[in-house]
Copies of this chain bind each other. A is one copy, B any other.
Amino acid sequence: MSVIDTVPSPVRLSAVAAPGQPEPTPALEKLYRGFEEELLVPLWTEIGGLMPLAPNSKASPHLWRWDRLLELADEAGRIVPVGRGGERRAIALANPSLGGRPYATPTLWAAIQYLMPGEDAPEHRHTQHAFRFVVEGEGVWTVVNGDEVRMSRGDFLPQGGWNWHAHHNAASKPMAWIDGLDIPFAYYTESQFFEFGRDELSQAERVAPEFSRSERLWGHPGLRPVSQLESTPSSPLLAYRWVDTDRALTEQLALEDEGHAATLSPGHAAVRYTNPTNGRDVLPTIRTEMHRVRGGASTLARREVGSSVFQVFDGEGCVTVGERSWQVRRGDMFVVPSWVSFQAKADAGQASLDLFRFSDTPIFEALHQQRSEVVQQA
């Protein structure tokens, strides 16, 4: 049985003596038995948990070390085949307080995916939105609707829902990367569709070009092909290359040095990956950003509605999530639950600490539920 199954259980109510609760009497007990029979639950026994003063996340702050993820993925690479049915050799972070389910946070899936030399992951499509981010390695191409997208260190590949996609490893070495999706959100809201595609890629899809067609059409700053004027919910640009991201972050810090407003706070540069058709997030449900904290500097401590997953791209430093703190390095992944504060500090001896981040914030912005605040530091 899968870890996500829930055993249906009947309504169970008990009268207790507590502030705000009705007196436990035989009449109340009888009423509660009536509620149970009719499948009813009163608000007054549940309001504290259901309607807290502020989000009180079921998820915990937690850190996964990249070396262990890689070690286990590598072992899986040797003994678990990739093919139709299992679909992908992807191994998901399971937040320690979400019941053993493969949820990094209540809404977000984060997994390491691994492909051996010459292997293919078969084609499928689903309405869940997805992206890939490459912390190290190269050699794999993701084929989206027949368009081959190279994956190299620092590259970010968004992939909006309902696009056909497959992967192939064209190199002589295994390659790992991370996948982010809104699988838990789609599962919870029961809004997902899935379809199997072809079992094999064509030869034309194994050419392994340096740039995808999507980049050649869309990867020019502020320039839009006149043949493609529709605004699309997800980005038509299928790769955001590290060379561009790095230059953008470098320039923000340089502008700060020259006295101009460009950073989020002193020493903290950040870019958001956006959909060139509308300037908004690349995916309707997932926000993705790259943050750079200058060596010795810190971000502000902030908390916000919604949850995030981070992966350290480069550098070393210390991150604090609520009451937890960890010294982190390349590849390490950690989660920040809803309304829990987050702060990062780059080690002084480093050029910078670079953090890739994804979050469910677009959901809350679309529904006018977003809130955030800077938390006073001790």
Contact = CB atoms under 8 A, between A and B. Distances in A.
Nearest to A68: B38
Contacts of A94: 11, 39-41
A169 interface: no
Contact of A21 (B7, B55, B75, B86): B86
Contact of A222 (B28, B62, B237): B237
B192 A220 contact: no
6 contacts: A3-B12, A47-B85, A127-B369, A185-B189, A190-B338, A217-B262
Given A3-B13, A39-B64, A191-B305, A80 B276 contact: no
Given A3-B13, A222-B282, A227-B270, 20 more contacts: A3-B41, A10-B96, A12-B100, A20-B84, A21-B86, A22-B86, A41-B94, A42-B102, A43-B91, A43-B102, A50-B187, A51-B183, A54-B193, A216-B251, A221-B221, A222-B274, A224-B271, A224-B272, A225-B262, A227-B263
B222 A79 contact: no
Interface stretch (A253-261, A309-317, A319-327, A343-351): A253-261
For chain A, what secondary structure do more than half of its interface residues adopt (helix, strand, loop), or is it mixed?
loop
B35 A72 contact: yes
Name the interface size band of chain A.
Answer: 35 or more
A219 B221 contact: yes
The copy count of this chain in the complex is 4
A87 interface: yes
Interface string A207-230: 000000100111111111111010
A50 to B, nearest CB: 6
Contact of A225 (B111, B185, B252): B252
A42 B240 contact: no
A298 interface: no
Nearest to A81: B22
A91 B40 CA distance: 6
A13 B193 CA distance: 26
A261 to B, nearest CB: 7
A92 interface: yes
A251 B68 CA distance: 42
A192 B55 contact: yes
Given A111-B43, A195-B53, A338-B191, A278 B276 contact: no
Contacts of A186: 369
Contact of A39 (B19, B62, B79): B62
A223 to B, nearest CB: 4
A140 to B, nearest CB: 17
Nearest to A365: B366
A53 B21 CA distance: 44
A205 interface: no
A43 B87 contact: yes
Nearest to A371: B193
Contact of A100 (B11, B111, B126): B11
Contacts of A226: 264, 270-272, 289, 291
A94 B41 CA distance: 6
A273 B223 contact: yes
A279 B231 contact: yes
A149 B54 CA distance: 28
A128 B285 contact: no
A260 B81 CA distance: 34
A226 B268 CA distance: 10
Q: Which of A81, A261, A369 has the most CB of B within 10 A?
A: A369
Contacts of A237: 221-222
A220 B194 contact: no
